[in-house]
Chain A
Amino acid sequence: MTPQILTNLRLIDPEADTETEGWLRIEAGRIAEIGEGYRDGTDCGGKVLAPGIVDIGVKICEPGERHKESFRTAGAAAAAGGVTTMVTRPDTLPAIDSPETLEFVTRRAQEAAPVNVLTMAALTKGREGREMVEIGFLKDAGAVAFTDCDRVTTNTKVLSRCLTYARSLGALVMAHPQEPVMSSGAAVTSGKFASLRGLPAVSPMAERMGLERDMALVEMTGARYHADGLTAAGSLPVLERAKAAGLDVTAGVNIHHLTLNELDVGDYRTFFKIKPPLRSEDDRKAMVDAVATGLIDCISSFHTPQDEESKRLPFEEAASGAVALETLLPAAMRLYHSGALSLPQLFRALSLNPAKRLGLEAGRLAVGAPADLILFDPDAPFVLDRFALKSKSKNTPFDGQRMQGRVLATFVGGHCVYGAL
């Protein structure tokens, strides 16, 4: 592989929290040199170069639902969206809960995806919350974290044993905190809008209750824990207390909860049905602020493909989730253009922190780090057409919306996997 020099760049370094004009040299798949000013090389026209996105919690519907998404389509979508590492979810059919299924997924990922793919495994067999999976074998086979995704383990005895066992192996456990009885059947967040639309609703307090419980278990077991997909302002003080108490806890938020609110559902638009449901504007603002202060560590896409049939149903019956690999960056640019977050702050949450949490070298703009990079124009405007997405499923809430931010090129290990360079 030939050395490559990209020049005339705005370099985003989330680690140093800086934005500088300069150039970057790639050699043998790694960042070999970074410098300020101009030097001869491939002129990038003053566009932004940042560490590629490390997206925790991507659902790729293999095995089981390949008609919704495959490693090939998700890989193409990730490359087009600037996601250089996808961390996949185990909530497939069947669940990824044994070294054998994990091996299948790993092989499929290597065959079909142009970006890095890391896999998470279920925490309990079949995600049923009864028996723990073979955490040791799965970790050896490459599982980077263990999670039952949106299914909450209600049996706290089982969960505490899983956490204790995982701690002994240094395995990361990820969960979506929620009080499952209270939130069962809910399609939206309770409040004026839910009352007007007559939809079954849940208070965001259910999330805080789930998080409080999990924090108690983490304190009890000392496990490494990542609270994914937090949405509610009420959860933040709980998180703050846990971090202040020195628990090994990090937290993430989905891009949709940072850029949309409950009113976007409008006249029962099921593409806006996600889980947990979209929250009030106050919650949304609180989550954006928490990303700015660093209380919330990671932003992810929570990419969840759903076919047209499962969305073309009455709101209560429709499936939850939205595809987001390709809209993650332009949606995040809304936060940049509105002045809420700077580019280094955004990439700290999109790239650096997720990589750090998973113990990866990526996510940095530093000499020696893997050349997983994205070159993008944060200002380029476009109107999103969902049928132009590379994902097999087209269920995006941003369809028809005006967006800014186009990926020009995506590099994985120094190779250009998307774009014209």
Chain B
Amino acid sequence: MESAQLTHAQTVCAQPMKVNALPPVDTLNINPKIIGTRSMSFRAKHLLGIEHLGPDEIVTLLDLADDYVRLNRQSVKHTDTLAGLTQVNMFFENSTRTQASFEIAGKRLGADVMNMAMQASSIKKGETLIDTAMTLNAMHPDLLVVRHPHSGAVNLLAEKVNCAVLNAGDGRHEHPTQALLDALTIRRAKGRLHRLNIAICGDIAHSRVARSNILLLGKMENRIRLIGPPTLMPSQIDQFGVEVFEDMREGLQDVDVVMMLRLQKERMDGGFIPSEREYYHRYGLDAEKLGFAKDDAIVMHPGPMNRGVEIDGTLADDINRSVIQEQVEMGVAVRMAAMDLLARNLRATPREVMV
């Protein structure tokens, strides 16, 4: 039986596929001036989470991000959309990828970007989050990108400043730009973002990516399956309109999209799994387990990957199945779109300056 599955998986992997085939229009250069000239529906002042976004807002953002993907593939990638605006990246938690993505996004849009490494600064001196926010607010930033190790910290900050706040991940709560970039990746690979069977696998409990994805994919009317050991499932997660599987092969049966999550060892305060090798055996994605998914199923991972823990290294690099590199590319475009839209709303409703 096992050898039969392996053979099946091998044949699946061997099939040549083009998952990131782009519409032909992408080969044409896009004039930055026409980006975002279509009608827009996006009302939010901040991007704190997916929870309060409507499907129309999600579509607006993804459409605009598509334009930015084209721009980013040109030799001249610069626009003046955010010219004159100041973007501050406040990262209270280590991040290389997300911070770089936000920084590039801001710079391509012409904003003045500043990075603040918060672990090294006043937080260590006992200053509270609110004090830091108020200090920063007095410098009149326009866009504030915040990552914080505690759930809800970004919401709290947004109440106290008068610029647009983007949540770059708060605790185990939400990571909206990750869910949006995942959605854009899926939409481009699958040609749609509805009625897909999508499996989210692994450490759901500690994952803000999973929460934002469950909310977004649910709003866009997909079937969501969560796969993982029960110790890594949040309580009453079955009430979120998802199907929960403890057996990975059963859960992956005929799915269109496989989203892997990183095992967040740094957030674990006790034994959630017996060992990494047992975890890999039962929940690590390899060619054999992927064989249960649809033949054209794509493999996603928010990064950084623990190769050999939740995903087989070879599979992660398989350009026929893995869209992990596309996810990174979409990340910049989605963040450009998000900041563009928030800046428009910011300009449309100038707010009182709090001193």
A198 an interface residue at 8 Å Cβ cutoff?
yes
- A316 interfacial by beta-carbon distance below 8 Å: yes
> Would you call B235 and A190 a contact (CB within 8 A)?
yes
Chain A residue contacts of B151, Cβ below 8 A = 197-199, 268, 314-316
Taking a contact as CB atoms closer than 8 A, the residue among A185, A191, A196, A314 that contacts B153 in the complex is A314
Q: Which of B43-62 contact A (CB under 8 A)?
A: 51
**Residues in chain A near residue B277, CB distance under 8 A:** none
Q: How far is the CA of A198 from the CA of B151 in the complex (A)?
A: 6
**Within 8 Å of chain A (Cβ to Cβ): is B96?**
no
Q: B156's closest neighbor in chain A, by CB?
A: A314
Assuming A198-B174, A268-B156, is B236 touching A314 (CB within 8 A)?
A: no
- In the complex where A198-B173, A198-B174, A314-B129 touch, is A192 in contact with B152 (Cβ < 8 A)? no
- Choose from B171, B240, B269 the contact partner of A316 (Cβ within 8 Å): B171
With contacts A315-B151, A317-B150 taken as known, whether A197 is within 8 angstroms of B173 at the C-beta atoms is yes
Q: Is B237's CB within 8 Å of the partner chain A?
A: yes
A312 lies within 8 A of chain B by Cβ: yes
Using Cβ atoms and an 8 Å threshold, which residues of chain B touch A190?
Answer: 235-236
CA separation between A192 and B237, bound complex, in Å? 6
Report if A421 contacts B (CB, 8 A).
Answer: no
Residue B239 at the chain A interface, CB threshold 8 Å = yes
Instruction: Note all chain A residues with C-beta closer than 8 A to B301.
Output: none
In the bound complex, residues from chain B placing their C-beta under 8 Å from that of A185 are 269
**Interface residue? A40 (CB, 8 A):** no
**CB-defined interface of B193-213 with A at 8 Å, one 1/0 digit per residue?**
000000000000000100100
Interface string of A257-278 (1 = CB under 8 A from B): 0000000000110000000000
Q: Are B236 and A195 in contact (CB under 8 A)?
A: yes
Closest beta carbon of chain A to B7's beta carbon, Å: 40
Are the CB atoms of A198 and B208 closer together than 8 Å?
Answer: yes
A195 near B150 (CB under 8 angstroms)? no
The answer for the CA separation of A267 and B208 in the assembled complex, in Å, is: 16
Q: Give Cα A314–Cα B128 distance, bound, in whole angstroms.
A: 10
Known: A185-B269, A312-B128. A195 touches B237 (CB 8 A): yes
Q: Decide if the interface of chain A is mainly helix, strand, loop or mixed.
A: loop
The smallest beta-carbon distance between A194 and chain B, in angstroms, is: 7
Q: How far is the CA of A194 from the CA of B234 in the complex (A)?
A: 8
Give min CB distance, B138 to chain A, whole Å: 17
CA separation between A203 and B236, bound complex, in Å?
11
Residues in chain B near residue A312, CB distance under 8 A = 128, 130, 156
* Closest partner residue, chain A, to B204 (CB atom): A195
Question: Mask for B205-239, Cβ within 8 A of A = 1, else 0?
Answer: 00010010000000000000000000000111101
Cβ A198 vs Cβ B239 within 8 A:
no
Given the known inter-chain contacts A192-B236, A192-B239, A198-B172, please indicate yes or no for A315 contacting B128, CB distance below 8 A. no
- A199 with B152, Cβ < 8 A, contacts A190-B235, A316-B171 known: yes
Question: Are A196 and B211 neighbours in the complex by a CB distance under 8 Å?
Answer: yes
User: Which of A197, A198, A199, A203 has the most CB atoms of chain B within a 10 A radius of its CB?
Assistant: A198
Within 8 A of B (CB), among A333-364: none
In the bound complex, do residue B128 and residue A192 qualify as a contact, i.e. CB atoms below 8 Å apart? no
0/1 per residue, A313-328, Cβ < 8 Å to B? 1111100000000000
Q: Is the CB of A314 within 8 A of B235?
A: no
B contact residues around A199 at 8 Å (CB): 151-152, 171-173
User: Cβ of A195: which chain B residues have Cβ within 8 Å of it?
Assistant: 211, 234-237, 240
A296 within 8 Å of B (CB atoms):
no
Closest to A195 in B: B234
10 A–B pairs (Cβ distance < 8 Å), ordered by A:
A192-B235, A195-B234, A196-B240, A198-B208, A198-B211, A267-B152, A268-B156, A314-B148, A316-B151, A316-B171
B: residues with CB less than 8 A from A are: 51, 128-130, 148, 150-153, 155-156, 170-174, 208, 211, 234-237, 239-240, 269
6 smallest beta-carbon distances between A and B, as pairs: A268-B152, A198-B172, A195-B234, A198-B173, A314-B150, A314-B153
Contacts A196-B240, A314-B150, A316-B150 supplied; 6 other A-B pairs, CB < 8 Å = A197-B151, A198-B172, A198-B211, A312-B128, A315-B150, A315-B156
